[in-house]
Amino acid sequence: MKNLLNLPNVLTLCNLICGCLAIKVVFLIGLANNYPNTEHVFLTAFVLLLVAAVFDFFDGFAARLLKIASPIGKDLDSLADVVTFGVAPGFIVLQYLKLNFEIMNPELHAYHIHYLALLIPVFSALRLAKFNNDSRQSLGFIGLPTPANALFFASLVLMQGIPQLHFVVLICVPLFCYFMLAEIPLFALKFKNFSFKGNEIKYIFLLLCLVLILFLQIKAMPFTILLYLLLSVVNNKLSKV
């Protein structure tokens, strides 16, 4: 029991709890109250996934710092991530699409098009299985990480004011499912040292993220994920020159 409930695993379980709460908020509470305040419901779910992402970062950090990384911890982390960054965003998008197509496009709602959102947990599970068995992803990522994908969708549904946003979300589902499995090298925010040389792309990304947050606040999240993808592609091109 002591080996199971060490600090990194406890942080992983906190990640899992946040994911379960996000599902409960958007699915059970949302349905029970017939969505009296949809923005509040989806905002709460986003905050829970954001907190979960913090736990997800620090569980690995704590394991490396304390030198207690283990196969059990690795498996537990993936199991938690499937729920928090796979199932939870899948239900968030499913409920969002269901509500909006039912109100704005009832003729399309009849085809149950909102179930396309279930591709998110499916491809998230595939992504995590690939990550666990890919030795190339120790210093960076190949394909979009599941936390980034989850935060993209959880924040995208908050972008009120975009015309036909539900169609944008619908189109993004298969597109970002592809990004999770695509052979696209993406940099990781891991620093061996804090000098600018060798970490240029990371500092540029963090600086631009800060600017986006200052101007857009919570609505900056989808743009930071898109920026992450764009800078990774640019970095790949420049590294080959």
CA 124 to chain CA centroid, Å, is 9
Q: Where are the domains of the chain?
A: 7-183, 187-241
Query: For position 194, what pLDDT does the model report?
Result: 67
> CA nearest 46: which of 100, 89, 97, 95?
89
Instruction: Report CA dihedral (127, 169, 37, 94) to the nearest 10 degrees.
Output: -50
- Indicate the pTM of the whole model: 0.91
Query: For position 127, what pLDDT does the model report?
Result: 95
Query: For position 134, what pLDDT does the model report?
Result: 76
Q: Tens of pLDDT along the chain (241 residues)?
A: 556 678 889 999 999 999 999 999 998 766 655 566 788 899 999 999 999 999 998 888 787 778 787 888 888 999 999 999 999 999 999 999 998 898 888 888 788 999 999 999 999 999 999 888 877 766 678 999 999 999 999 999 999 778 899 999 999 999 999 999 999 999 887 766 667 777 788 899 999 999 999 998 888 999 999 999 999 998 888 776 5
CATH match of 7-183 with 1.20.1250.20: no
Query: For position 61, what pLDDT does the model report?
Result: 79
Give DSSP secondary structure letters for 122-187.
HHHHHHHHHHHT-GGGSSEEES--HHHHHHHHHHHTT-TT-TTHHHHHHHHHHHHHHHHHS--EEE
Calpha distance 85→88 (Å, rounded): 6
Q: Which residues pair with 142 in a beta bridge?
A: 185
